[in-house]
Amino acid sequence: MSTDYAWVAQTITSTVPWVATAGVEFDAVTPTRVTCSLPDRPEQRNHAGGPHAAVMFGLAETASGAIALAAFAEHMAAATPLVLRSEIRYRKLATGVLTAEAELTRPVADVIAELEAGERPELPVECVIRNAEGVTTAEMTVVWTLKRIKK
C-alpha cells in the first residue's frame, strides 16, 4: 500500500469495529482508488458456501469509505462523509478470498468546489468485487455526500 495513505487504513480499522472484526485488509489506497480484500472465513459464509451478501456489501462499502476519507481528509473538520444510497448487483456466487476495487468517478476538485460553495456534493464511487481468480462476483455503486458540520 502507498505509505502516503497508510493512515487511512489504520484510521478506518481502528474507528469502524466491523472492519477489524471481518478482517478487511487494505491493499492500496489513493484519493481516487482503493483496493481491499477479505479472507475466506467459514463464519462469514452463507447457505451456498460463499461469503454472505452482507459481508460482500460491507467490503465494497469499506473500500468506498476509504476513498472518501483519503480524498477529503483536510475537510473533515468542516464536513462529515455519509452514505446517501447504494446499489449492489450480485453477478456470480463468490467463493474464497475476495477483493474490492473502488473508484471515485468525479474529480476531487469539483467536489471540493461544491463543498466550499456551500453545496452538499455527491461522490459516486463504483466498486467491483472479484474472487481470487479475478472473476467479477458483484458490482456496487455507493453515493456519498459531505454534510457540513453545524457549529
Q: What is the tens place of the pLDDT at every residue in 60-94?
A: 999 999 999 999 999 989 899 999 999 999 999 99
Region 109-131: mean pLDDT is 95
The pTM for the full model equals 0.93
Rounded average pLDDT over 105-130: 95
What pLDDT does residue 105 have?
96
Sequence ranges of the domains in the chain: 3-148
With a cut of 90, say whether residue 150 has pLDDT above it.
no
23: left (phi over 0), alpha (psi -120 to 50) or beta: left
Domain 3-148: CATH superfamily, name plus number: Hotdog Thioesterase (3.10.129.10)
Residue 42: is its pLDDT beyond 60? yes
Please compute the mean of the pLDDT values over residues 113-140 and round it to a whole number.
96
CA dist., res. 93 & res. 108, Å (int): 34
pLDDT at residue 2 is higher than 80: no
Express as a percent the part of the chain with pLDDT over 70: 98
Cell output for 46: 452463507
Single-letter amino acid, residue 24: V
Q: Are 14 and 37 in contact (CB under 8 A)?
A: no
The b/e string for 114-137 (b: 16+ C-beta within 10 A; e otherwise) is bbeeeeebebebebbbbbeeeeeb
Q: What is the mean pLDDT of residues 132-148?
A: 96
